[in-house]
A = this chain, B = another copy of it.
């Protein structure tokens, strides 16, 4: 039996689940795990379902599942569970998020394929190629930025990329690129309670004596660092920690939060509902 993961999102109306279940039945399917949520704010209905079916081919399975659902015009995806989502990583010179993602990927803990890593610097080629992953150096200057983004989208198409992960990529994407990547580009940044604006936020946080350091992973939007939040976490710090140690501890939580967000996205657990996300937990 093939094991499929299906997602559905559409405006909520009665009958969606019945239509979906009828379709899964037509594909000889049996539901193993399913989560559904109707988002009150946007009126969107979100479904993630894992089911077994004798139909192995995803196109064929989708053709069997889909007919009754057509009336709801849903966003519908279906993939065999063992066909992993494909992530393109973008980095600059800071390596901790990259190294952590590669390490988890290598150990089989990050359920993605990584067809290519793109960087505006050549600095991290070594570690990427050590893991046997192609590294593409795409320099970015104000003049070459449009060409660099065009190259990015070529790579996204060429490698059939499902999600772009900004693993401490220090370039701002153009508004147009952000729009084209809506809901499929993930960024990570530090966060504090309370928030600190401006330069050297860890030093500001240290100066205020914060007791928690956090990080937020979110979808990229044109509004910098303000996209829909996928995952957040914090780590406790004491007065004995210097600002430099807080930077290091902050790196740890950035890595953890980013890897969790990428995994949740790659397992099709995240749904974008306006400015919020619905994340079905495991």
One of B22, B107, B212, B275 near A214 (C-beta < 8 A): B212
A249-275 residues at the B interface, CB under 8 angstroms? 273, 275
Given contact pairs A14-B30, A31-B38, A231 touches B214 in the complex (Cβ within 8 A) = no
Closest to A104 in B: B252
Cα–Cα distance between A145 and B226 once the two chains are bound (Å): 40
Cα–Cα distance between A7 and B6 once the two chains are bound (Å): 23
Closest to A227 in B: B208
Chain A 49-66 against B: per-residue CB contact (8 Å), 1 yes, 0 no? 100000000000000000
A94: Cβ under 8 A from any B Cβ: no
**Cross-chain contact A193 with B17 (CB below 8 angstroms):** no
A131: Cβ under 8 A from any B Cβ: no
Tell me whether chain A's interface is mostly helix, strand or loop, or mixed. Answer: mixed
Cα–Cα distance between A152 and B205 once the two chains are bound (Å): 33
A210: Cβ under 8 A from any B Cβ: yes
A222: Cβ under 8 A from any B Cβ: no
Stretch of A134-142, A155-163, A232-240 contacting B (4+ beta carbons < 8 Å): A232-240
Closest to A210 in B: B229
Chain A 200-211 against B: per-residue CB contact (8 Å), 1 yes, 0 no? 000000111111
A279: Cβ under 8 A from any B Cβ: yes
A187: Cβ under 8 A from any B Cβ: no
A13: Cβ under 8 A from any B Cβ: yes
Cα–Cα distance between A80 and B275 once the two chains are bound (Å): 31
**Cross-chain contact B229 with A208 (CB below 8 angstroms):** yes
Q: Which residues on B sit within 8 Å (CB–CB) of A147? A: none
Closest to A18 in B: B21
CB distance from A248 to the nearest CB of B (A): 7
Q: Which residues on B sit within 8 Å (CB–CB) of A282? A: 238, 240-241
A170: Cβ under 8 A from any B Cβ: no
**Cross-chain contact B240 with A208 (CB below 8 angstroms):** no
Closest to A193 in B: B191
Q: Which residues on B sit within 8 Å (CB–CB) of A228? A: 208-209
Q: Which of A18, A233, A277 has the most CB of B within 10 A?
A: A18
**Cross-chain contact B276 with A239 (CB below 8 angstroms):** yes
Q: Which residues on B sit within 8 Å (CB–CB) of A239? A: 37, 39, 273, 276-279
A33: Cβ under 8 A from any B Cβ: yes
Chain A 16-57 against B: per-residue CB contact (8 Å), 1 yes, 0 no? 111111101100111111111111110001000100000000
A195: Cβ under 8 A from any B Cβ: yes
One of B31, B103, B232 near A36 (C-beta < 8 A): B31
Given contacts A32-B37, A210-B232, 5 further A-B contacts (CB under 8 A): A17-B17, A34-B37, A206-B276, A208-B228, A239-B279
